């Protein structure tokens, strides 16, 4: 089931193909924003591919896989196109290698909380091995990647809040105000206070932030099937933990430094994300988890090219453009809610947007004698975004049915190539399209590496969220 998640990593990453990248930049194709970074030698600035500035000459540009790599090579972020304010690279889900797993954990704030030793431990590598692989694959080591992530979180707080800049520094994960000031100057070629002033004048607005409340814009690559996600969340919502309407999705979050409540409202060109956090150090992690939940870093054009070539799926691909695979905000929660027939009450939180309590921890569920919760609470089973897909898939059948293991890998890791062929709705949808269930696995070979999305289309054909 997971073989293709390994084999597709053999294809060279886009950023190494300078000719193709330059064609994308010349066309200002926003579909590629977040998939690589363009740096201009003559200006010392790096941009997103769709930057509206004049296209530089080909001999004056370099391409990098990440903002951190561009920063490590002495380039500063473009203040016109804001290259960090784009959807993330879909490579981190398509690829199943060490670099992609590390990027997911770094985005979740692991380095800020546990340092590079903690990141290496979660990935099962030594610090030296990890640094060598990340530098070779991404052009920057774990500290540089985490620094770029902190700079992005800091920019959000500087531009979207009225927090004192000293508070912004520590909320974004910097160890000192001096480190914060130096990083902002190096990355954005301006001071934090100037960045705040220019942001206010550029946008003509400031945030709806009061204390720990923020309202952010989460970008995605269109099209985006928001209604399909909302129907899915509504069908499986946990009362008190989640509240779903035809236009919004709200839920509580259990985060490293405290709790949070988020309400998500899909709009034509972004998702409005309203957050209330007890500790602003959790901002980056909260945003990262919400993006994974909504599959906002997906590449719908790539999905369409592959699945639209199948005559049976083509009408569905046209009917439901931009379909997404729902992710998860927490691996342990996803596994437990899939197994529990009734979710025990979790900790109460101040009510807002119709949600009033947290999903219980594995330790809380373990008090009922649940074996999987006990394994999670004791650390014998770890389910988080930094796990290797094949290793996690091999461990889970000791605790759950193989079909459940596939489901967990697909949603927790955002694995794009897992077909839930035993799922009743998937089999029903296949039959509705004239695909015999016995031949589904063979037919699905042509759907690689997007079989998770094919499964969503089949569920749609069966009338199931």
| Residue spans of alpha helices (H) in 204-299 | 226-235, 283-294
Residues pairing with 266 in the sheet: 271
From 91-100, 103-112, 163-172, 452-461, the region with the lowest mean pLDDT: 91-100
Spatial distance between the Cα atoms of 262 and 218, rounded to a whole number of angstroms: 13
Stretch 198-219: mean pLDDT:
67
Average pLDDT, the chain: 91
Q: Ramachandran region of residue 109, left (φ > 0), alpha (ψ -120 to 50) or beta?
A: left
What DSSP letter does each residue of 334-369 carry, written as one string? Answer: HHHHHH-SSPPP--EEEEETTEEEPPPPHHHHHTTT
Q: Which CATH superfamily is domain 208-297 in?
A: DNA-3-methyladenine glycosylase AlkA, N-terminal domain (3.30.310.20)
Asked whether 456 and 324 are in contact (CB, 8 A), the reply is yes
Give 201 or 42, the one with higher predicted confidence: 42
Closest CA to 185 of 113, 281, 79: 79
Predicted local confidence at residue 7, as pLDDT: 36
Spatial distance between the Cα atoms of 350 and 356, rounded to a whole number of angstroms: 6
Spatial distance between the Cα atoms of 48 and 37, rounded to a whole number of angstroms: 6
Say whether 349 sits in a helix, a strand or coil.
strand
pLDDT in tens, 236-288: 999 999 999 999 999 999 999 999 999 999 999 999 999 999 998 899 899 99
From 45-54, 198-207, 380-389, 407-416, the region with the lowest mean pLDDT: 198-207
pLDDT in tens, 101-145: 999 999 999 998 999 999 999 999 999 999 999 998 889 999 999
Predicted local confidence at residue 333, as pLDDT: 98
Q: Taking 50 as the threshold, does the pLDDT of residue 1 lie above it?
A: no
CATH topology of domain 3-83: DNA Methylphosphotriester Repair Domain (3.40.10)
Tell me which of 1.10.569.10, 1.20.140.10, 1.10.10.60, 3.30.530.20 is the CATH number of domain 92-207: 1.10.10.60
| In the chain, where the domains are located | 3-83, 92-207, 208-297
pLDDT > 90: what percent of the chain? 76
Residues marked as catalytic: 47, 423
Q: Taking 80 as the threshold, does the pLDDT of residue 98 lie above it?
A: yes
CA distances from 215 to 74, 148, 194, 271, 283 (A): 32, 22, 21, 10, 11
Same fold, 92-207 and 208-297: no
Q: Taking 70 as the threshold, does the pLDDT of residue 5 lie above it?
A: no
pLDDT in tens, 309-363: 999 999 999 999 999 999 999 999 999 999 998 998 899 998 889 999 999 999 9
Q: Is the dihedral of CA 12, 292, 98, 282 positive or negative?
A: positive
Predicted local confidence at residue 314, as pLDDT: 97
202 pLDDT band (50/70/90 cuts)?
low
Asked whether 67 and 37 are in contact (CB, 8 A), the reply is yes
Cα end-to-end span (Å), the chain:
23
Q: Taking 70 as the threshold, does the pLDDT of residue 370 lie above it?
A: yes
Predicted local confidence at residue 31, as pLDDT: 82
Tokens standing for residue 176? 């000192």
Predicted local confidence at residue 199, as pLDDT: 72
Sheet holding 76-77, edge to edge: 61-64, 37-40, 45-47, 76-77
9 pLDDT band (50/70/90 cuts)?
very low
């Amino acid at each position: 089931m997971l073989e293709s998640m390994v084999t597709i990593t053999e294809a060279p990453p886009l950023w190494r193909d300078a000719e193709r990248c330059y064609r994308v930049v010349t066309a200002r194709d926003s579909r590629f924003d977040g998939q690589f970074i363009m740096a201009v030698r003559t200006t010392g600035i790096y941009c997103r591919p769709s930057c509206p500035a004049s296209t530089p000459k080909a001999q004056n540009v370099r391409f990098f896989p990440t903002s951190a790599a561009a920063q490590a090579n002495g380039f500063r972020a473009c203040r016109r196109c804001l290259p960090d304010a784009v959807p993330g690279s879909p490579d981190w889900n398509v690829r199943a290698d060490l670099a992609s797993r590390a990027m997911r954990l770094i985005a979740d704030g692991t380095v800020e909380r546990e340092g590079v030793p903690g990141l290496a431990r979660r990935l099962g590598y030594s610090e030296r091995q990890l640094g060598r692989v990340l530098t070779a694959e991404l052009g920057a080591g774990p500290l540089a990647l985490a620094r770029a992530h902190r700079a992005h979180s800091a920019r959000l707080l500087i531009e979207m809040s009225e927090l004192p800049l000293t508070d912004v520094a520590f909320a974004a994960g910097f160890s000192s105000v001096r480190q914060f000031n130096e990083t902002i100057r190096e990355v954005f070629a301006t001071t934090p206070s100037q960045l705040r002033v220019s942001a206010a004048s550029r946008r003509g607005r400031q945030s709806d932030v009061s204390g720990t409340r923020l309202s952010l814009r989460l970008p995605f690559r269109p099209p985006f099937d928001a209604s399909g996600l909302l129907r899915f969340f509504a069908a499986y919502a946990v009362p008190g933990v989640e509240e779903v309407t035809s236009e919004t999705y709200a839920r509580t979050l259990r985060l490293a430094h405290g709790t949070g409540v988020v309400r998500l409202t899909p709009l034509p060109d972004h998702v409005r994300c309203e957050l209330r956090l007890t500790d602003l150090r959790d901002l980056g992690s909260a945003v990262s988890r919400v993006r994974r939940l909504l599959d906002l870093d997906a590449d719908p054009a790539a999905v369409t090219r592959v699945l639209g070539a199948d005559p049976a799926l083509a009408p569905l691909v046209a009917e439901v453009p931009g379909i997404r695979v729902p992710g998860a905000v927490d691996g342990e929660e996803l596994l437990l809610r899939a197994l529990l027939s009734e979710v025990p009450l979790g900790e109460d939180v101040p009510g807002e947007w119709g949600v009033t309590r947290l999903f219980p921890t594995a330790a809380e569920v373990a008090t009922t004698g649940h074996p999987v919760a006990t394994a999670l609470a004791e650390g014998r089973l770890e389910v988080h975004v930094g796990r290797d897909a094949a290793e996690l898939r091999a461990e889970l059948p000791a605790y759950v049915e193989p079909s459940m293991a596939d489901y967990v890998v697909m949603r927790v890791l955002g694995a794009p190539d897992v077909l839930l062929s035993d799922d009743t709705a998937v089999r029903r949808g296949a039959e509705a399209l004239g695909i015999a269930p016995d031949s589904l696995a063979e037919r699905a070979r042509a759907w690689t590496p997007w079989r998770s999305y094919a499964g969503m289309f089949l569920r749609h054909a069966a009338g199931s969220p």
